A = this chain, B = another copy of it.
């Protein structure tokens, strides 16, 4: 007998609903939450579609984890603390093993980030996962894309291009002679299990002028900040933080991959140069690499500058969804 929607939610998506601030959880027409009067609600929504955002053969546990991670990453980029999410799951068939592993992937990140699934629905159709995540910030503390000023430093957390290299590897575009499988395993993990930089996001929020998460690629996402802020930027190409695997790739294949590869979910942000010590302190505290990569400048456009002073034109397109 096939699982009905209600059995399915009961079996795989019921969570402990005894949570601070959660008045009504899963099981009614809608959930009810209490927002503290000294907080603002931050809301984001992202859909992942099979064959577009993850390979058809991706494990259901990875799919669950990543679906939630990309949404929490958006909250992190606002400086918000994630609290709740809803899940709209569209599935061709209700396969119990798949659902169990998918739910496990979600729960792993729920635990890591202390977020609670409070509602949603399940539907029959081609596999796709829509998540809407909610978090809290203090009034006036949300970090927008539009606050960068000429003279600000530009920073990136972690390393760039790993997820894109992982994807190249998964689709068979990386030869063993270029990079051994062991070097690529970490990149595939970055692709499948992105770590949302939520703690870094809300730790940095009071000290930065603009912030975005790197989902479409470095030049595209920095471009969003620059357009929203009405500024340009100069980035020192060799200062971009790269893992050893991506560095090896760049040596033979050039810079395209770390510049325009998406799915890294690192934070790109700008800050007044007076904040350098604070930012270094946060990096040390969180054991999170935070690398200065350039400066915001007056005008428009993004200049990528090589060590020898040669200006490389950037590709402003990044990842296009259509």
Contact = CB atoms under 8 A, between A and B. Distances in A.
A52 B44 CA distance: 26
Interface stretch (A71-79, A102-110, A171-179): A71-79
Contacts of A137: 32
A45 B87 CA distance: 7
| Copies of this chain assembled into the complex | 2
A234 B124 CA distance: 33
Contacts of A322: 2-5, 8, 91, 93-94, 122, 124
A32 B42 CA distance: 4
A287 interface: no
B320 A4 contact: yes
Most B CB atoms within 10 A — which of A43, A78, A120? Answer: A43
A87 to B, nearest CB: 7
List of 10 A-B pairs having minimum Cβ-Cβ separation, nearest first: A130-B130, A49-B125, A37-B37, A30-B44, A132-B132, A5-B321, A45-B86, A47-B88, A35-B35, A126-B126
Interface stretch (A20-28, A272-280, A303-311): A20-28
Interface in A134-165: 134-135, 137, 139, 142, 144-146
A321 B135 CA distance: 30
A14 interface: no
A317 to B, nearest CB: 8
Nearest to A40: B32
A240 interface: no
A86 B130 CA distance: 11
B42 A130 contact: no
A298 B5 CA distance: 27
11 contacts: A29-B212, A30-B80, A32-B142, A33-B41, A34-B40, A45-B121, A46-B88, A47-B130, A50-B125, A52-B124, A125-B126
